[in-house]
Amino acid sequence: MLNKIEVKMTKDGSHTLMSSLFDDSYHAHNGAMSESEHVYIQAGFEQLEPEFNRVNILELGFGSGMNAILTLKSALAKTGQIDRPIRFISVEAYPIPMDIVAQLNYKVSFSPQIAELFDKLHQAPWGCDVEIIPGFVLHKIHGKLEEFKSDHDSINLVFYDAFAPSKQPELWLQENFDRIISMMEEGGMLVSYCANGQFKRNLKAAGFRVKAYPGALGRREMTRAWK
């Protein structure tokens, strides 16, 4: 089906995208970058257990590349280099055309180095490992979550960033979380902007330990869960 994408401004001055296929935005209208920073970086990546000597991230929805570039930005913030290797796997069924990517205003908020890396993330070919910088490997998969297979239980961080359950209900079923938890290391964490009650019940039924966390930009809660 045709997915028409439009660039929209959010209240923090960063762009989001609007999907005609799902009649939904990719980020919160109160602030695209602010939401992603809070949910996936501050409450996710930066809270990952230090005993993991490698970070293996599974993201549902590469979208605008926001979560990937903010992960890179955070990883480089302290020393200017990657302190522990990161492999970022992102599953995206509807890749955004490059002419839409070119309209996004994220790079004005970044240093020249991070802005250049944002371009590299989008230019990376699909279906293979690409070393963006030493210590950070990106693997973009053009496909659906149910088609993704992991060879072993190596995932220790999941960014569950699908469209809302009312828009993509098939992606919020318990069977998805049964599969995901089987791919994860003990102590691995899943984070999502969503705090839907059925979502949390499905996570618990799959074996996750679930805990609410303050949401971004006026939202009461988001979700964090651990294997």
- 3-state class (DSSP) for residue 3: coil
Q: Residue 218: its pLDDT value, please?
A: 77
166 contacts: CB under 8 Å, gap ≥ 6: none
Please tell me the pTM assigned to this model: 0.96
Per-residue pLDDT band for 204 (boundaries 50, 70, 90) equals very high
Section 67-74 average pLDDT: 98
Q: Residue 3: its pLDDT value, please?
A: 83
Per-residue pLDDT band for 146 (boundaries 50, 70, 90) equals confident
Let me know if residue 197 belongs to a domain: yes
Bridge partners, 91 (sequence order): 60, 141
Cα(90)–Cα(134) distance, integer angstroms: 19
Section 148-168 average pLDDT: 90
- Which pLDDT tens digit goes with each residue over 93-145? 999 999 999 999 999 999 999 999 999 999 999 999 999 999 999 999 999 99
Let me know if residue 132 belongs to a domain: yes
- Which pLDDT tens digit goes with each residue over 29-60? 999 999 999 999 999 999 999 999 999 999 99
Let me know if residue 101 belongs to a domain: yes
CATH code of residue 42: 3.40.50.150
DSSP label at 121? H
Closest among 33, 39, 59, 55 to 224, alpha carbons compared: 39
- Residue of 146 and 173 predicted with greater confidence: 173
Cα(212)–Cα(227) distance, integer angstroms: 15
Let me know if residue 175 belongs to a domain: yes
Let me know if residue 41 belongs to a domain: yes
DSSP label at 198? H
Cα(198)–Cα(90) distance, integer angstroms: 24
Let me know if residue 14 belongs to a domain: no
Per-residue pLDDT band for 2 (boundaries 50, 70, 90) equals confident
Q: Residue 222: its pLDDT value, please?
A: 97
Cα(55)–Cα(75) distance, integer angstroms: 11
Per-residue pLDDT band for 1 (boundaries 50, 70, 90) equals low
How many domains is the chain built from?
1
Let me know if residue 63 belongs to a domain: yes
Which amino acid is it at 47? Answer: Q
Let me know if residue 135 belongs to a domain: yes
Q: Residue 210: its pLDDT value, please?
A: 98
Q: Residue 147: its pLDDT value, please?
A: 83
Residue 100's domain spans which residues? 28-226
